[in-house]
Structure 1
Amino acid sequence: MMLVISLFGGSLGIDRFMLGQVGLGIGKLLTCGGCGIWSIVDWFLIMDATRQSNAQKLFAVIG
C-alpha cells in the first residue's frame, strides 16, 4: 500500500509523513521530491521503511 502512495504522492512527501518521518516529509515537499530523484530512490527504500514501521507498531501492541 505504501508503495502505491509513494508512486503517486512521493514527490510531495506524503509517504514519509505517513511513516512518521516528518523532517524527511517536509524536505521532500519543499524540494518536490529532490527534483524527482529522491522519489525514485524512495520507491526502493519505502518497502524496508514500511516493514520496520509495521514491526515497531506490532511490538508496541504485543509488548
Structure 2
Amino acid sequence: MSTAPLPLPPKDTAITYILWFFLGLFGIHHFYMGKVGRGILWLLTGGLFLIGWIVDLFTIPSQVRAVNARRAAGYR
C-alpha cells in the first residue's frame, strides 16, 4: 500500500486576477499562489511601486501554470 501524498488542488487564474485587481498592491494574489516572499515584498512596496502590479497583469497566467505544475508534482 502506497502512502504517497495526494497532489494539491490547482490554483485558479480567474481568482488570481480578481485578487490582483482588488488587492494586488498588497500582494494578496501572490499569497494566494503560495509565493509568501513575493507577497511580503509587494505588501511593503505597494506592488513594487505599481510597476510590478502592472507586470503581473501580463504574467499571471504563466505564474499560475508554474504554481500548478509544482503543486501537481507534489511541491508546495
TM-score range, shorter chain: 0.7 to 0.9
Alignment equivalent of 2:37, drawn from 23, 27, 44: 23
| Unmatched runs of 5 consecutive residues or more in structure 1 | none
Over the aligned positions, Cα root-mean-square deviation in angstroms equals 1.3
| Unmatched runs of 5 consecutive residues or more in structure 2 | 1-14
Bigger relative CO (Cα 8 Å, ≥ 6 apart): 2
TM-score by length of 1: 0.80
Aligned length: 60
Structure 1: 4+ residue segments shifted above 3 A? none
TM-score by length of 2: 0.68
Determine which structure has more spread, i.e. the larger CA radius of gyration. Answer: 2
Query: Identity percentage over the alignment?
Result: 38
